[in-house]
Amino acid sequence: MRGRGDNRAVTVDLSREAPFSDTLDSITDKYRSAFREQYGLNHDGLIEVDVVNLRLIATDSSNHGLSRRIEPGKGAEAARIGEREMDFGGEVKLPVPVYLRSNLGKGDSFKGASVIEEPGGTVVIPPEGLCHLDEWGNSRIHLPSREFPSSSGSGEMGRGLGMSNLDIIEGAIIAAETEMESLDGRMSGSDMMRDLGDFRAALFDPAGRKLTGRTVSALVEPVLNNWKHEEIREGDVFVWNDPYLSDGGIGNLLNLCVYTPVFHHKDLVAFFIASGRHDDMAGMIYGGFVPASTEIYQEGFLVPPVRLYECGVVNDAAFQIITRNNRVPDRMRADIVAEVTAYRLGGAKVVALCEHFGKDVLLKSFGDLIEKCEKAVREELLPKIPDGEYSWEDYIESDGVEKYKTYVVKLWMKKAGGRLTLDFKGTSSQAKGPINWPGDYADGKFLKRRLGALLRNLAGSYKRMLGLDINEGVCALIDVHFPAQGSLLTPVFPALTNLQEITLLRLRSLFCGVLGLATKGRMPADQEACRIWGVGGRDREGTPFHFREMLGGGAGGRPWADGKDVLQFLPGA
């Protein structure tokens, strides 16, 4: 706030007031008192006040349960705020009613074409669609039923479903992942997730195969390797962050993964993984990036795969252990609840697809999406790489501990028989600093997906490249060989890992290097490594504070365009 006419500013801390009890008038009264005290104004005259910035941070003190049920609605018309014209492919634009999401309640329903608006996005209900709000506040959109041929029989891609409907399902999956991330970002407590958007959601089929390539996510194997399918039940939630128990899917202790199964009539139909970079996970300092560390225990608190909720009932002991080992437990609690709530939203979307298309058709479509990716890579992309052997190497100038030691990463690639073989022999031994990445698990699946996405650059056109989605299907066409134990890519526990992203980005460089040699420069040039900086400490009352940001130096030039300069680095970019 500031006093009108003099531009002098005073900050008024209301964090210890009774929650939500202050009106704007009482807030300005507190301001006037603080202004007089700070600037020595003892007269009783009124001080005009401008509210420059008013920020409220609310903490829910309830028992970290799942998301609350919403109140019954007052009818859709009560939430209607106007209308707009929209084009649904016809000759004329249609006037479409617009509803405000925050004014809708349980049981409210309305027909399409219509629009729901909320701060994080816009939901469009197509013509002939019907939308209703369930008890959790999810928008359930029902489209007209259609007759689908049986999906049994031949495994030929798309048979029994049709490519147009397969596209619809693929789009629905991507929309579900995106909407989960939007909800996660709005509800999270950690600055890295809420303000910088460092979170991601991904959908997997019952076998643990990733169905889209839009984000870099962890793997399902940490749960599938510890629990049989019949031991996983509806309402279960699993969490973990241990890089050495993540099957190569996590390299950073600040990334706590929340894994949830999706059931339809007691049948397991999918898995969701939601994860983000939390503000703290114990360790030597707030924030977890400690170049002076010598072992992983100093980087943070390790969580092996554990069941946090069982059949919808929270494991209070596990929850308390995780939040207790955190300098900002309320933020961690909010992060986990946000991710579980996002799962409810994503799960409802998948269940709606089951109800609309049928469970068997939907499960077959999951396989078709993976087969579609494998077919595109096998028939469109890999033929652009001449058979032969190619090698490249790159360097990491320091690990943050041994300042004058350079680390080498090497890649030898062989293209033969319609397959790629990647061998990282010759890569340096593990570092004392936090640049190690334990990736030699699950047949290198995480690395195959991450590097495989770069193959899109071999598409026949820029437009075709943007239309290709590289999911689990690419893994069937790549073999990966890691160095012996004790290298940067095969570190021995408890080697440090919190800055493993630097090494992973160098591996992308290697892959671009060998592909550039093989295709005579068709690949993008090199990119900058991720850089992380932050400030932190404790305020006058002893409360910890921290600010952290990840920065990238842009991307190299491409055959069809210049490079990109000074881009903010975000996962999935």
The tens digit of pLDDT for each residue in 503-513 reads: 998 999 999 99
| 89 Cβ contact partners less than 8 Å away, ≥ 6 residues apart | none
**What is the number of residues in the chain?**
573
Residue 97 lies in a domain: yes
3-state secondary structure of 216: coil
- Same-domain pairing of 360 and 378: no
Confidence of residue 518 (pLDDT cuts 50, 70, 90): very high
Identify the domain boundary among 121, 144, 167. Answer: 144
Question: Residue 272 above 80 pLDDT?
Answer: yes
- Determine the structural domain holding residue 111 and report its residue range: 69-144
The token pair at 462 is 């820029």
The token pair at 356 is 């609309």
Kind of pairing between the strands at 109-111 and 130-133: antiparallel
Give mean pLDDT, residues 179-184. Answer: 88
Question: Residue 189 above 70 pLDDT?
Answer: yes
**Mean pLDDT of all residues belonging to the chain:** 83
| HSE value, Cβ hemisphere, 13 Å, CA-based, for 51 | 10
Q: Is the Cβ–Cβ distance between 398 and 405 less than 8 Å?
A: yes
- Same-domain pairing of 136 and 203: no
The whole-number pLDDT of residue 27 equals: 61
How deeply is 228 buried, as exposed, middle or buried, from its count of CB atoms within 10 A (0-12, 13-18, 19+)? exposed
Give mean pLDDT, residues 274-299. Answer: 84
User: In this predicted model, what pLDDT tens digit does every residue of 446-484 receive, in sequence order?
Assistant: 999 999 999 999 997 888 888 899 999 999 999 999 999
Residue 62 lies in a domain: no
The token pair at 482 is 């890691």
Residue 453 lies in a domain: yes
Identify the domain boundary among 144, 170, 195. Answer: 144
- Same-domain pairing of 426 and 292: no
170 vs 327: CA distance, rounded Å: 40
What total of structural domains would you count in the chain? Answer: 4
Question: Residue 515 above 80 pLDDT?
Answer: yes
Residues in a beta bridge with 457: none
- Same-domain pairing of 260 and 230: yes
- Amino acid, single-letter form, for residue 68: R
User: In this predicted model, what pLDDT tens digit does every residue of 139-162 receive, in sequence order?
Assistant: 888 877 554 443 333 344 444 455
3-state secondary structure of 314: strand
The whole-number pLDDT of residue 530 equals: 65
Q: Is the Cβ–Cβ distance between 56 and 44 less than 8 Å?
A: no
- Same-domain pairing of 488 and 467: yes
Give mean pLDDT, residues 87-95. Answer: 73
DSSP 498: T
Nearest residue to 392 via CA among 516, 482, 505, 485: 516
In the chain, % of residues over pLDDT 70: 81
pTM flag (> 0.85): no
